[in-house]
A and B are shown apart, each in its own frame.
Chain A
Amino acid sequence: MKKFVALVGTNTAKSTNRKLLKYMKKRYADDAEIDVVELKGLPIFKKTEEVFIPQQAKDIAEKIDASDGVIIGTPEYDHSVPALLSSALAWLSYGIHPLMDKPVMIVGTSYGTLGASRAQAQLRQILDSPELKATVLPSSEFLLGHALQAFDDNGDLKSAEESQKLDGLFKDFLEFVDLTEQLVNSKKLHEQDAATFTWDNGTTGDDK
């Protein structure tokens, strides 16, 4: 059975993304073991002389390393991903590279109609950056709008249409994880890049 790490992109207690990820964990329990992981508690990313990485980030990295793939649930704050999530991704690409070539599925919820569409687009771009180089499931937007009304008392999605759509995407993700096994040609190169990469003289155009 596949093992996935599901990152909750926000720290709020009332997160509907957490609800969605927990729903997925329950719904797909026969196909995969999904570990819903909180980012709450992670400090804002900061570079230091000694390349300090908080223990919580190291723990998350370990879980990701041991997994077959990652699901990220993101809300949208100010037309983009929450600072907490972007901070987590910075920690997870600071001297460690757990997401490199790791299959990633993005989902997102919002209170309004748009379902975090802009945040999801940005998240793809971020995951594509040279320090992260994750392998994101293509053509797979799952935008859950009006999320406050979307779940019933059992935490299940009320809309059959939405849950069927999610089923399809998740099935695709399972297949995608297997498929990416075959994408080995650039993997070596990525690993080499990662080994020699530093944020200061890096190959990326990135900067402090």
Chain B
Amino acid sequence: MVKLVGIAGSIGEQSYNRMLLEFIRDHFKKSVDIEILNINDVPVFNEDEDHNDNPVVHELARKISGANGVILATPEHNHTVPAAMKNVIEWLSNNVHPLNGKAVWIVGASYHTQGSSRAQLHLKQILESPGVNAFVMPGNEFLLSNAKEAFDDDGNLKDSRTVGFLELVMKKFLTFMKVIEMMDAPDPKNAHEEDMDSKHPVNTTVEDVDMTDPEWVEKAAEKTHAASGGDYVKLDRGLLTVDQLNCFLNSMAGELTFADDNNQFIYYNKNADAAHMLAPRTPDQVGNPLSAVHPDRVIEHVKQVLYALRTGESDVVSMPAQTGPNQHVMHYYRAMRDENRRYRGVNELVIDIMPILKYYLAATGQKLVKDPDAVPMSPITGLDAVTGASAHSDPTTDATSGASASKSAEKPAAPEPVKDDALTGASEEPAADAAPKKPEETPTDTDATTGASES
């Protein structure tokens, strides 16, 4: 469910703006999860002090960061936003910036006819300042005047037209949030524009921590007050502690890597030392931009994989790495998408499929024989574009598999199976490099047992 947080700008004992937020929360509870945040105990902002000293401030920052959008309900004091509301925003625009890029909907209630009109304008101006940098929903002003008479004894808005308008605006806000989300998404126009240096932060990027710092994980965790150890994490679908989540991911029958939509390598399931991994990673690499964990000459190929996944051209790109009679390691790159279908990064699974294949043959009493009618294919799937690009690569590169140039007019050359890891491998071998080869070598050299070449 969409998660919003609401803040009422007044810390007075009685507040019609808080009532209004409570009504919105209850009225829309079937479709939207709204948590109303308490700002009563926020200390007076002082730029000399560090917010880290104040648990109230970073709890607020954490909740706002975790929400899809924010509703601010403001009264009007002296023709402006109440100091209490402004004070919170000052804290949230100094060391931490949780409102950055966040969709905000302003509502306001007042005793009289103005309905906080001037305060709402000031609030917009404040939210648009560079330190705050929120996206305020334009138009759709919701000004509740004569607030004293507006609610019944149960805290419900009496006027059905007002409720109807609120429903209409909420619907627009839900759309607005999606639009704002999409604005945050990197949008390279072609594979070449993929930003391998991760210089375009997305709304999950932890800013002001050096991506190349070997202790990026520790520093970013501190900065975000990350859950750890016995803290529970609500998942789709289940509830696990962070420790349980680690046990679960580290026991996966494969090596998993997460690179986000800013092409930053932010996770792998560390269940072995680099020396014992199929695609070696080391703990200090986590946090690196993808450019830092790839040799220069494979960068353009990695970009093609990322671009194909980001644009939805492919949902999965797969390619073999180490292959032989007893091993056939595959790399699967899957696009990860959120509920709005926004690309959120690539899920890489590295797994040796040979044990599975051998089990299957043994269990079903079969063996592999060479197929004389086999149509040669690229061992790389999901990446048609690469074959076109490969025309420029060095024809002398030693390649032993894939379709030959002569076999397919549309695909003059097939990419070589990678010995490398297109996401984070530091291998010097080119990933998805392609090389046309001499036609006569093609079928006979192919390793019949595995269906792919030994390189």
Contacts of A87 on B, CB cut-off 8 Å?
44, 83-84, 87
Contacts of B77 on A, CB cut-off 8 Å?
45, 86, 90, 206-207
A-B contact pairs, 11 of them (CB 8 A): A11-B44, A42-B44, A49-B13, A77-B131, A86-B81, A87-B83, A93-B78, A125-B79, A128-B79, A205-B111, A206-B75
Looking at the complex, which one of A44, A80, A125, A132 makes contact with B118 (CB distance below 8 Å)? A125
Shortest Cβ distance from A41 into B: residue: B44
Shortest Cβ distance from B123 into A: residue: A80
State A44–B47 Cα separation when bound (angstroms). 15
Shortest Cβ distance from A39 into B: residue: B44
Contacts of A131 on B, CB cut-off 8 Å?
78
Q: Is the interface of A mostly helix, strand, loop or mixed?
A: loop
Is B17 in contact with chain A by the CB < 8 A criterion? Answer: yes
Is B125 in contact with chain A by the CB < 8 A criterion? Answer: yes
User: B40-87: which residues lie under 8 A (CB-CB) from chain A?
Assistant: 42, 44-48, 75-84, 86-87
Looking at the complex, which one of A14, A83, A126, A205 makes contact with B87 (CB distance below 8 Å)? A83
Residues of A within 8 A of B (CB): 10-14, 40, 42-49, 77-84, 86-87, 89-90, 93, 118, 122, 125-126, 128-129, 131-132, 200-202, 204-208
Q: Are A84 and B44 in contact (CB under 8 A)?
A: yes
Q: Are B87 and A208 in contact (CB under 8 A)?
A: no
Q: Are A13 and B11 in contact (CB under 8 A)?
A: no
A76 shortest CB reach to chain B, Å: 9
Q: Are B129 and A44 in contact (CB under 8 A)?
A: no
Q: Are A44 and B13 in contact (CB under 8 A)?
A: no
Q: Are B84 and A44 in contact (CB under 8 A)?
A: yes
Q: Are B128 and A205 in contact (CB under 8 A)?
A: no
Is B386 in contact with chain A by the CB < 8 A criterion? Answer: no
Which of B13, B76, B77 has its CB near the most chain A CB atoms (within 10 A)? B77
A44 shortest CB reach to chain B, Å: 5
State A89–B48 Cα separation when bound (angstroms). 22
Q: Are A207 and B110 in contact (CB under 8 A)?
A: yes
Residues of B within 8 A of A (CB): 10-17, 42, 44-48, 75-84, 86-87, 89-90, 93, 109-114, 116, 118, 122, 125-129, 131-132, 147
A171 shortest CB reach to chain B, Å: 29
Contacts of A204 on B, CB cut-off 8 Å?
112
Shortest Cβ distance from B93 into A: residue: A78
State A208–B18 Cα separation when bound (angstroms). 10
Contacts of A78 on B, CB cut-off 8 Å?
86, 89-90, 93, 126-127, 129, 131-132
Q: Are A44 and B46 in contact (CB under 8 A)?
A: no
Contacts of A125 on B, CB cut-off 8 Å?
79-80, 118
Given contacts A77-B90, A84-B45, A207 and B147 within 8 Å (CB-CB): yes
Q: Are B78 and A126 in contact (CB under 8 A)?
A: yes
State A47–B47 Cα separation when bound (angstroms). 25
Which of A10, A48, A122, A132 has its CB near the most chain B CB atoms (within 10 A)? A122
Shortest Cβ distance from A132 into B: residue: B78
Q: Are A206 and B46 in contact (CB under 8 A)?
A: no
Q: Are A90 and B79 in contact (CB under 8 A)?
A: no
Shortest Cβ distance from B85 into A: residue: A83
Q: Are B76 and A207 in contact (CB under 8 A)?
A: yes
B135 shortest CB reach to chain A, Å: 15
State A47–B14 Cα separation when bound (angstroms). 9
Q: Are B129 and A13 in contact (CB under 8 A)?
A: no
Q: Are B118 and A45 in contact (CB under 8 A)?
A: no
Which of B16, B93, B113, B122 has its CB near the most chain A CB atoms (within 10 A)? B122
B47 shortest CB reach to chain A, Å: 5
State A132–B78 Cα separation when bound (angstroms). 7
State A77–B89 Cα separation when bound (angstroms). 9
State A207–B127 Cα separation when bound (angstroms). 21
Given contacts A78-B129, A83-B83, A14 and B48 within 8 Å (CB-CB): yes
State A131–B129 Cα separation when bound (angstroms). 27
Contacts of B12 on A, CB cut-off 8 Å?
46-48, 208
Contacts of B76 on A, CB cut-off 8 Å?
205-207
Contacts of A48 on B, CB cut-off 8 Å?
12-13
Shortest Cβ distance from B80 into A: residue: A126
State A45–B69 Cα separation when bound (angstroms). 27
Contacts of A79 on B, CB cut-off 8 Å?
125-126, 128-129
Q: Are B90 and A83 in contact (CB under 8 A)?
A: yes
State A206–B109 Cα separation when bound (angstroms). 10
B428 shortest CB reach to chain A, Å: 48
